[in-house]
Amino acid sequence: AQTVTQSQPEMSVQEAETVTLSCTYDTSESDYYLFWYKQPPSRQMILVIRQEAYKQQNATENRFSVNFQKAAKSFSLKISDSQLGDAAMYFCAYRSAGGATNKLIFGTGTLLAVQP
C-alpha cells in the first residue's frame, strides 16, 4: 500500500523569505500523481500544485515550486517570497495513475506559520 510521510509537523518562516516543506512517499507503482494542498484556517482545501510522475520537469506555480526526486521518492514544496496569506496547513498527497480507484492518500500535514 502507498504511504505519504510529512516529517515536519510545524514550520516557521519570515515574511518575504523562502521555506521548503518536505514530503516522502512509498509506492511500487511507476505512474502516479503528487499534489500539495493548502488548508488555511477556513479549512477549505485548496490545490497548490500538481506533478505527474512521468514528467522530469519540476512543476511551478508562481511562488510555489516543487523538487521532485522520483528515485528518492521525495516531493518537497518550496514557497518563495512568503506572504502572511501563506500561513496554513499544507498536505502532500499521492494518487495512482492506473487502476479503478482515484483516491488521494494524504500525509499528516505541516503547519506553516509566517512571521511578519
Partner 1 sequence: NAGVMQNPRHLVRRRGQEARLRCSPMKGHSHVYWYRQLPEEGLKFMVYLQKENIIDESGMPKERFSAEFPKEGPSILRIQQVVRGDSAAYFCASSQSARETQYFGPGTRLLVL
Residues at the interface with partner 1 (CB under 8 A): 35, 37, 42-47, 50, 91, 97, 100-109
Beta carbon of residue 111, minimum distance to partner 1 (angstroms, whole number): 10
CA atoms of 79 and 14, how far apart (whole Å):
11
In order, the DSSP letters of the chain are: --EEE---SEEEEETT--EEE--EEE-S-SSEEEEEEEE-TT---EEEEEEETT--SPPEETTEEEEEETTTTEEEEEE-S--GGG-EEEEEEEEESSSS----EE---EEEEEE-
- Beta carbon nearer to partner 1, 86 or 107: 107
- Beta carbon nearer to partner 1, 88 or 107: 107
Beta carbon of residue 16, minimum distance to partner 1 (angstroms, whole number): 29
- Beta carbon nearer to partner 1, 80 or 105: 105
- Beta carbon nearer to partner 1, 18 or 40: 40
Beta carbon of residue 43, minimum distance to partner 1 (angstroms, whole number): 6
Beta carbon of residue 114, minimum distance to partner 1 (angstroms, whole number): 21
Which residue, chain included where needed, has cell 500538481?
50
